[in-house]
Structure formats: C-alpha cells, structure tokens
Amino acid sequence: MMTKNSKNTVLESLTEQQKNDLNYLLELAEQYEKKDLANAEAIMLFAQEKRPNAPKVKKKLALYQDMKQKKATALSNKQAKGATIPRAHAQTPEKRKFSFDFKKWLKAPIVYCTLLPWLVFAFYTVFIETPKFESQAQIIVKQPDGASTMDASMALLSGFTGQSTSSDPQLVKAYIHSQDMLNYIESQLKLFEHVSSDDVDVFSRLSSDASREDFVEYYLKMVDIYIDDASSVITVKVKGFDANYTQSLTQVIVERSEWYINSIGHHLANEQLKFVQGEHNLVEQKLSQSQTELLQFQQEHNLIDPLAEGAAMQQIAYGLEGQIAAKEAELKTLLAVMSGNAPQVMATKSALEGLKLQLVAERSRLATTKNNMSVSEILAKFTDLKVNLDLALQAYTASQISLEKSRIEAYRQLKYLIVVEAPTLPEDATYPKEQYNLLLAAVLLLLVFGIGKIIIATVRELG
C-alpha cells in the first residue's frame, strides 16, 4: 500500500491541466482503486475539492467507503477465525472463492429450471418407474385361389376372384384395435386388473375407476401394429408389466385374429354359395316351366312329336297326289280306246274321284285342327317350346356343375392367417429406455430454458 508521501507524489506529478480535468482524475482513480484503494480515494478527494458537486466523484467516494468497510469486516472475521481454528486447517482464499461461486451457482435459474426437474425425472425413471416387457409376433393373411375349380361365368357371378387384397392387413389391424378384441381379452386374461395393479407405479398404471374410453385408450397404447407394405407381414408388439403375461396377451391377440379372419372367410363363402344356389333355383324353375309348357302343348293337340306327325301327313298328301296323277294317266289311256260309259272307264273315274276327295281331306288336316291352328302354326309353336326347353336344359346342366363346385369352395377357407413368428417371451424389460429418456429430457429442458431466457431478454430490452 502506498504511503501518504506516495499519494502526494502522485498528485504533485500531475500538471495543472490534468488536475483540472475531471475525466482524467476519474480514469486515474480507477487505475489505482484495485491496487491502492487509499490512493484512489485521495485522488477523488482532491477532485471533490475542485468539483464539490460532481455526481461521479460523489459516487466514487461512496463506492470507496463501501469497499473499505467490506475489507475491514473481512479482516475482522479472519482474525476471529484465526483465534479458534488452527492455521493448518484454515480455509485458503482459493477454497473460499470456490465455495462462494458454488453457492452462487446453486441459486442460478438454470439449476432450479433444468437441473432439479431433470434430477427428479431421473430418480423416477431409475428407481420408481415399473419396467415394461414387450412381446412380438408376426402374422400374414393368405387367400387361396378360390376360382380355380369354378366355371368362369359362375366365378364372376359369385364374386370369387382368388386374389388377396391389400386391405386384409388393415382389416386385421382394425380388429386388433377394436373394442371387440378388448372385450375378448378382458374375458380371457383380466387385462384391467393387470394394468391397474398396485404393483405398478402410479404414473404407469391405469386408474381403478377409469372409464371405458380411458381403458380403450390405454389398451391402444399397449398394442402397436406395423404393416410391411412390400410383404404384407403384420408385426404385433404388445407391452405389459410381466413377461409371461405379455406373451399370453400376444398369443390371445393372434389366436383371436385368426378366428376373425376364418369367420369372415366362411361367412363370405356361405353368402356366395347362397347366392349361387338362388341362381341355380331360378334356372331349375325355368327348366321346369319349359317342360310343363311343352307337355301341356302336346296334350292339348294330342301330339307326341308334331314334327314327325306333320311330316307323315305331308308324305300322305304327296302319295295321294302321285296316285291321282297315275289314275288320270290311266283314265286318258282308257278313254282313247273305250267309250266313256265303259265299265272299266267308270271304275277308273270312280277311283280317281276317291283319291281326290282323300287328298282334299288330307290337305284340310294340314290346314286346320280342332283348335283352329294350322299344322305350320303348331310346328312353329312346338319348335319355340322345344328350343326354350333345350336352352333351359343346357343352363341347368351348367348351373348344376357350378353349384357343385361352389359347394366345395364353401367348405374351404377363403382367407387364413399364417403365424410367421410365434409370440416371443421377453427376458429383459424393454422400457423404460433410461439413457435415451434422460438424454431427451435434458435436451428438452435446456431447450425450453434457452427459449425462456431469450423471451425474457427480449421483453426486458423492449421494455
């Protein structure tokens, strides 16, 4: 520390211009205040004599008084401690500085805004949170070629395509996440008791008085479904608080999904068979109706085969016409050598008249019947009925074949579920992922703290 003579030396070394320059005196005092507080105070006292009302000078003098008081207090405390504590155990200035900085750091906002919440979260994650096990199973939905044994037209009619649709995995996913599946699981494994057990920590378990909607939402978080678009393989991942229970839960989900796919396939097959059977019944009714109409027509006209009978009647008429022509030629020959009253001529004429009358009668039979229908009309009507019957018979034959093939398809699984990977038994807990969770929590807390600091600083600057 400088003596009084050194103080005077500093002041005496100044020029008159420097002594009258307040700013220079302030800068000079600041240079000395760290290494020689008394000299700095002397400079400010000299400046006060020059400028008694200068605010900066008064402020500096007040600061120096405060520094002197703190220094005296610290010295007094040091002397008091030195009287009771051996010097070997006395705290060094470096340790006192470190202790003071640490306490100050503990009061920093970053500690109680980030560190303390992170420590609480870490304690919960490591010591309190209940471990969760995860069981995995892989399944795929397959569909056989259902139309391979069917007639092409009936396959189109019945709806058998033989192709597996891309919506099948989505259908399985929707059913696994449905309340129907949850109801079945609850009836088999008492899932609600498992997830609301007191053995599970309060933040992980489901409340014992939770609503149905909360239970469904909790279940959806337990079961994750992943679908591979390329292979259509469905991966089912189920979380639980016990390894064996989690495997059983996954097994129940897979078995129930298989039952659901099978039931859909059989229901669809039965509905398709029902439709094909209905179409076959219509074809059978048309065949029966055609047979009845043809039989009634034959009975009405006393005909077994109108085509054959018409041909026979036409043949008779043609035969009579031939006989008449022969008799007319014979008559001309007789008239050439005999008189018209000759007995032989008269007999020939009589025979000729008989043939002509018979021909008229036969032609009359061809022209009309007892129902006032001509033979040609009868033949046309019969032909129509016969064609209808033949078509109905062909349709019935094809329908009968397709029906039998459809009946076989009805007893096949149209869609079935294949287990690619059986439900696994987890050995180690999958959750919580402690390192990942702690790192993520630290990053988020620091991010939030940083954003908060920026917002506060911006508000202060604008204010």
Residues 228 and 273 in one domain: yes
135 SS3 class: strand
Name the token pair of 177: 């996440």
pTM tops 0.75: no
Asked if residue 199 and residue 104 are part of one domain, the reply reads no
Grade residue 395 by pLDDT with cuts at 50, 70 and 90: confident
Highest averaged pLDDT of the listed ranges 5-19, 166-180, 265-279, 330-344 = 166-180
Are 160 and 50 contained in the same domain? no
Regarding whether 297 and 153 lie in a shared domain, the answer is yes
Q: Which domain holds residue 406?
A: 139-301+369-425
Percent of the chain beyond pLDDT 70? 80
The residue that leads in pLDDT, 92 or 395, is 395
Please report whether residue 199 resides in a domain: yes
Same domain, 124 and 147: no
Sheet with strand 223-227: strands edge to edge:
223-227, 234-240, 133-142, 416-421
Residue 310 within any structural domain of the chain: no
Domains: count for the chain: 3
Helix then strand then coil, in percent of the chain rounded to 5, is: 70, 5, 20
Same domain, 397 and 436: no
- pLDDT tens-digit map of 110-161: 888 899 999 999 999 999 999 999 999 999 998 765 444 445 544 444 444 4
Q: State how far the Cα of 353 lies from the Cα of 328, in Å rounded to an integer.
A: 10
Please check whether residue 181 lies inside any domain of the structure. Answer: yes
* Domain annotation covers residue 109: yes
Clarify whether residues 421 and 296 are in a common domain: yes
In tens, the pLDDT along 181-222 reads: 999 999 999 999 999 999 999 999 999 999 999 999 999 999
Residue with the larger pLDDT of the pair 35 and 410: 35
Question: What pLDDT, on a 0 to 100 scale, did the predictor assign at position 162?
Answer: 43
Same domain, 22 and 53: yes
pLDDT of residue 85: 47
* Percent residues over pLDDT 90 in the chain: 33
User: Considering the domain boundaries, does residue 354 fall inside one?
Assistant: no
C-alpha distances in angstroms, 169 versus 62, 125, 175, 263, 421?
83, 36, 10, 16, 16
User: Residues for the chain: how many in total?
Assistant: 463
- Does one domain contain both 293 and 394? yes
Cβ atoms of 248 and 135 closer than 8 Å: no
Residue 158 confidence (pLDDT): 46
CATH classification of the domain holding 419: 3.30.1890
In a domain, 41, yes or no: yes
Comparing 443 with 77, the larger pLDDT belongs to 443
Asked whether residue 82 falls in the same domain as residue 106, the answer is: no
What pLDDT is attached to residue 278?
85
Lowest mean pLDDT among 213-222, 401-410, 423-432: 401-410
Q: Are 439 and 122 in contact (CB under 8 A)?
A: no
67-122 pLDDT, tens digit per residue, is 888 777 777 777 666 555 444 444 454 444 444 466 777 778 888 889 999 999 99
The per-residue pLDDT for range 216-251, each reduced to its tens digit, is: 999 999 999 999 999 999 999 999 999 999 999 999
- On the question of pLDDT at 414 being above 60, the answer is yes
Return d(Cα 407, Cα 277) in angstroms, integer.
Answer: 9
- DSSP for 222-238? HEEEEE-TTT-PEEEEE
pLDDT at position 161: 45
Asked if 155 and 238 sit in the same domain, the reply is: yes
Answer whether residue 149 is part of any domain. Answer: yes
Could you tell me the pLDDT band of residue 309, with boundaries at 50, 70 and 90? low
91 Cβ contact partners less than 8 Å away, ≥ 6 residues apart: 99
Which residues, listed in sequence order, are joined to residue 133 by a DSSP beta bridge?
A: 240
Are 170 and 241 contained in the same domain?
A: yes
What are the pLDDT digits (tens) for 168-179? 899 999 999 999
Instruction: Supply the pLDDT for residue 351.
Output: 83
In a domain, 236, yes or no: yes
Q: Which of 319, 332, 323 is nearest to 352 (CA)?
A: 323
Residues 6 or more apart whose CB falls under 8 angstroms from that of 147 comprise 155, 160, 161, 162
pLDDT for res 368: 60
Residue identified by tokens 């211009």 is 17
Detail the DSSP E strand segments found in 13-153: 133-142
The rounded distance, in Å, linking the Cα atoms of 3 and 1 is 7
